[in-house]
């Protein structure tokens, strides 16, 4: 098999990782959708149905949680990699609603046999822990993501391949339920879950999931060897990464670009480009540090103009100005060479746009991103006011067509981060996208 997988090395397909450069919700779903015009395979590598990726095609809205954006292009294949945690019931529900919306799902979507399974006791543990006195409340999405990754790392998780093994599934659920019920009762006074009922529901879901299951690492490496191109669809964002984010106010997976290799089984040496997605300002949902947060009317205004409410949970997102020290950090951690700036149109009304260009701690300038969440308390943002354009951008389709102050705003981001702007998004629809020529050439993209 080794020879088979490396055979076509000289003509291996191109690869690019799409990674959130902030705290998630940067518009990754929309940008992946634009790229699937050219890329043949889309692979998710981390997270689970905590993600909510919005794609709008000719006014029709799709919100994807687990299913990669490739499913919306009939010629694309989508893969849910081993780094993802999958709730089979949520997955089947999502597939059902996509089919109901007229999307073909079947033979074009594969799930890794090594992905971890989320079970109801993961949600029970998360609920207990989020509400327990004395514990740090993260403000999670309540999907059981954290406890499922805990079980993975604790080497007591259930993988998709095990889910399909009915005998093993029964034993696993019986043992895990006994253990989790005892812990949850002792710590959080939770009501016990019924193992028998759980087994019936998940054995049934397993049979429906079976046709999707593959060794996706082999599938992806074979696709590359055959010259097919792959885009890795990141979920969450850099500042939510378990290692590099604002710990402990993070998710439990490797959301950064490195996760694309471990989360799919495609080697790091086969990753060509990392494309970071950033809003023209900043948002975060849930608790934790946010140095450039606006807690005033301006923040409320950004939230309204940007429709900043969670795609899945509906929670209002916190808003703030663009934070360049964090964006530089994100560019470093991910190796971002191309940057996509989304939601530029949300700033269309402003005559002046403050941007955080540095931090001050105890009156001294620093660029350092703190290791401790408490370290952010001391940070004071240093702002520079850039000229706004105070003109609509939603219908503009070329870089040259943008008002000069908007081009200057983008050039400033490029200069500060060292990454080049690849695309500019000026509205939620697939069509409201400006592609930069050098990026189109570099990635060998087809014209849209
Ligand atoms: P993701 O999780 O990174 O895929 O992002 P979400 O879909 O959760 O959030 C991004 C939101 O912004 C969605 O509602 C998108 O439809 C919307 N959006 C994406 N790009 C733009 C843009 O350029 N302008 C505006 N106004 N909305 C956008
Ligand atoms: P996409 O892919 C924004 C946040 C939650 C919470 C923290 C931990 O749409 O960008 P979890 O349920 O993962 O244990 O919650 O992470 N969070 C997200 N915020 N976008 C996301 O995904 C997120 N996924 C998780 O709000 O603060
Ligand atoms: Mg989202």
- Per-domain boundaries in the chain: 13-113+215-443, 116-211
Residue 8 — very low, low, confident or very high, per pLDDT cuts 50/70/90? very low
Closest ligand to 141 CA?
Answer: 2
List all residues 6 or more positions away from 102 whose beta carbon is below 8 Å from its beta carbon: none
Which architecture, in CATH terms, is 116-211?
A: Orthogonal Bundle (1.10)
Alpha helix segments (H runs only) across 309-425: 324-334, 404-417
Ligand 2 contact, 342 CB (< 6 A)? no
Report which protein residue has its CA nearest ligand 2's atom 3.
24
pLDDT tens per residue, range 137-153: 999 999 999 999 999 99
- Residue 369 DSSP one-character state: P
With residues binned 3-state (H G I as helix, E B as strand, rest as coil), the percentages for the chain, rounded to 5, are 40, 20, 40
pLDDT at 6: 45
Determine the Cα–Cα distance for residues 30 and 34; give it in Å rounded to an integer: 6
Going from the Cα of 447 to the center of ligand 1, the distance in angstroms, rounded, reads 22
Enumerate residues with CB within 5 Å of ligand 3 (an ion): 25, 52, 311
Which of 156, 210, 157, 130 is CA-nearest to residue 48? Answer: 157
pLDDT tens per residue, range 197-231: 999 999 999 999 999 999 999 999 999 999 999 99
Ligand 1 contact, 25 CB (< 6 A)? yes
Report which protein residue has its CA nearest ligand 2's atom 6.
140
Q: By CB neighbour count within 10 A (0-12 exposed, 13-18 middle, 19+ buried), where does 247 fall?
A: middle
pLDDT(3) > 60? no
pLDDT(1) > 60? no
Ligand 1 contact, 279 CB (< 6 A)? no
Going from the Cα of 32 to the center of ligand 3, the distance in angstroms, rounded, reads 13
Contact 16, 443 (CB under 8 A): yes
pLDDT at 2: 46
Element (H, E) at 177: helix 166-188
Fold equal for 13-113+215-443 and 116-211: no
Determine the Cα–Cα distance for residues 422 and 427; give it in Å rounded to an integer: 16
pLDDT tens per residue, range 156-180: 999 999 999 999 999 999 999 999 9
Ligand 1 contact, 32 CB (< 6 A)? no
Determine the Cα–Cα distance for residues 314 and 302; give it in Å rounded to an integer: 16
pTM: 0.96
| CB atoms near residue 37 (< 10 Å) | 14
pLDDT tens per residue, range 317-371: 999 999 999 999 999 999 999 999 999 999 999 999 999 999 999 999 998 899 9
Ligand 2, atom nearest to 25 Cα: 10
Strand partners for 433: 425
Ligand 1 contact, 325 CB (< 6 A)? no
Residue to mutate (ligand 1; options 34, 42, 54; most atoms within 8 A of CB) = 54
Which residue carries 């997988």 as its tokens?
Answer: 5
Angle at the Cα of 321 from the Cα atoms of 315 and 323, rounded to 5 degrees? 105
Alpha helix segments (H runs only) across 286-429: 297-305, 324-334, 404-417
pLDDT tens per residue, range 50-59: 999 999 999 9
Relative to beta strand 420-425, strand 60-64 is unpaired
pLDDT(377) > 60? yes
Count H helices, E strands: the chain?
Answer: 14, 19
| CB atoms near residue 377 (< 10 Å) | 11
In the residue annotation, 185 being an active-site residue is answered as: no
pLDDT at 448: 66
Contact 46, 86 (CB under 8 A): no
In the residue annotation, 53 being an active-site residue is answered as: yes
Angle at the Cα of 347 from the Cα atoms of 448 and 431, rounded to 5 degrees? 15
Which is the catalytic residue, given 33, 49, 53, 151? 53
How distant, in Å, are the alpha carbons of 56, 80, 227, 438 from that of 445? 21, 24, 15, 10
Contact 414, 421 (CB under 8 A): yes
Relative to beta strand 60-64, strand 109-112 is unpaired
- 150-155 contacts at long range (C-beta below 8 A, 24 or more positions apart): 150/252, 151/116, 151/122, 152/85, 152/116
- 431-443 burial code (b ≥16 CB/10 A, e <16): ebbbbbeebbebb
Going from the Cα of 396 to the center of ligand 2, the distance in angstroms, rounded, reads 31
Q: Which fold does the domain 13-113+215-443 belong to in CATH?
A: Adenylosuccinate Synthetase; Chain A, domain 3 (3.90.170)
Residue to mutate (ligand 2; options 21, 241, 251; most atoms within 8 A of CB) = 251
Report which protein residue has its CA nearest ligand 2's atom 5.
140
């Amino acid at each position: 098999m080794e020879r088979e997988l490396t055979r076509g090395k000289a003509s291996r397909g191109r690869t690019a990782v799409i990674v959130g450069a902030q705290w998630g919700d940067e518009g990754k779903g929309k940008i992946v959708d634009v790229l699937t015009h050219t890329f043949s395979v889309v692979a998710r590598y981390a997270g689970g149905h905590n993600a909510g990726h919005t794609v709008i095609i000719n006014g029709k809205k799709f919100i994807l949680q687990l299913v990669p954006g490739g499913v919306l292009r009939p010629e694309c294949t989508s893969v849910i990699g081993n780094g993802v945690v999958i709730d089979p019931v949520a997955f089947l529900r999502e597939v059902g609603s996509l089919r109901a919306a007229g999307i073909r799902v079947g033979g074009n979507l594969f799930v890794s046999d090594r992905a971890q399974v989320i079970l109801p006791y993961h949600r029970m543990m998360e609920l207990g822990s989020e509400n327990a006195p004395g514990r740090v409340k993260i403000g999670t999405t309540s999907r059981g993501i954290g406890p499922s990754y805990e079980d993975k790392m604790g080497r007591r998780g259930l993988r998709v391949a095990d889910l399909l093994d009915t005998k093993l599934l029964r034993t696993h659920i019986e043992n895990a339920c006994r253990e989790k019920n005892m812990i949850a009762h002792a710590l959080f006074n939770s009501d016990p879950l019924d193992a028998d009922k759980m087994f019936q529901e998940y054995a049934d879901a397993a049979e429906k999931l079976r046709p999707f299951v593959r060794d996706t690492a082999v599938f992806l490496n074979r696709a590359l060897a055959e010259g097919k191109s792959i885009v890795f669809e990141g979920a969450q964002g850099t500042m939510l990464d378990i290692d590099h984010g604002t710990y402990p106010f993070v998710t439990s997976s490797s959301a950064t670009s490195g996760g694309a290799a471990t989360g799919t089984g495609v080697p790091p040496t086969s990753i060509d480009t990392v494309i970071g997605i950033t809003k023209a300002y900043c948002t975060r949902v849930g608790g934790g540090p946010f140095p450039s947060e606006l807690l005033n009317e301006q923040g409320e205004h950004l939230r309204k103009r940007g429709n900043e409410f969670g795609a899945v949970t509906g929670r209002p997102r916190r808003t703030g100005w663009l934070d360049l020290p964090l964006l530089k950090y994100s560019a470093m951690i991910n190796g971002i060479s191309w940057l996509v700036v989304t939601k530029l149109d949300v700033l269309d009304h402003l005559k002046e746009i403050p941007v955080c260009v540095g931090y001050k701690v105890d009156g001294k300038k620093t660029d350092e991103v703190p290791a401790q969440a408490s370290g952010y308390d001391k940070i004071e943002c240093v702002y520079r006011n850039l000229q706004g354009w105070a003109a609509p951008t939603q219908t503009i389709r070329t870089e040259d067509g943008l008002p000069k102050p908007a081009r200057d705003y983008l050039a400033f981001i490029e200069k500060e981060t060292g990454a080049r702007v690849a695309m500019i998004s000026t509205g939620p629809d697939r069509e409201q996208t400006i592609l930069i020529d050098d990026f189109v050439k570099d990635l060998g993209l087809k014209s849209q």
